[in-house]
Amino acid sequence: MPGLVMGRFLVTVSLLNSALLAQNSANKSLITGTWRGSSECIQVDSPCRNEVNVYRFSEIAGKPDTFTGTASKIVDEKEVVMGTLEWTYDPEHHALESTGARGTFRLIVSGNKMEGRLTLTDNTLYRRIHLERAAK
C-alpha cells in the first residue's frame, strides 16, 4: 500500500509541475517581444516630457515570471535607450512590475495592450504609459 500512495503522490507532483511549466510558458509568450506606444506626464511642473516609447521584454532564464525590459524613447525618429530593468509578472493580477531608483513601474497586461504608470518613490504619480504589442 505505501508504494501505491507514493506512486499517486509522484503522479500528482508531476502533473503540478507540468501545469506550472505550461503557465510559465504562457506568461513568457504573453510578455516577451516588442511593445510600442506613448507615455504622458502627469506632473506638469517637472522635467518630464510626453514621449513615444518602445519597450523590449525578454525572459530571464531560470527565473519564472521574471523579464528584462529595455525602454527607449523616440527622438528625431531614432530609438534612444533610457535603461533596462528587471520586471516581475504577477499572473493573478496580470501585472508586470519593476522598481528602480526613481520609483515603480506597473503595467497591466490585457491581450496585446499594456496600460500603466510610473509612481515615484514618494508615491507621486509621475507618468502614464500606453503600449501595444508590435507586429512581428
CB pairs under 8 A, 24+ apart, for 116-125?
118/39, 124/43, 125/42, 125/43
89, amino acid identity: Y
Examine the pLDDT at 66 and tell me if it is beyond 90: yes
DSSP H stretches of helix in the chain: 2-31
Between 62 and 3, name the one with better pLDDT.
62
Range of the domain at 32: 2-133
Would you place residue 29 in the very low, low, confident or very high pLDDT band (cuts 50, 70, 90)? confident
Q: Which residues of 18-27 are buried (b: 16+ CB within 10 A; e: fewer)?
A: eeeeeeeeeb
- Please indicate, yes or no, whether the overall pTM of this predicted structure exceeds 0.75: yes
Question: What integer pLDDT is reported at residue 136 of this predicted model?
Answer: 67
Other beta carbons within 10 Å of 3? 7
- Rounded Cα distance between 134 and 38, Å, is 13
Greater pLDDT, 17 or 43: 43
Domain CATH number, residue 52: 2.40.128.120
The number of folded domains in the chain is 1
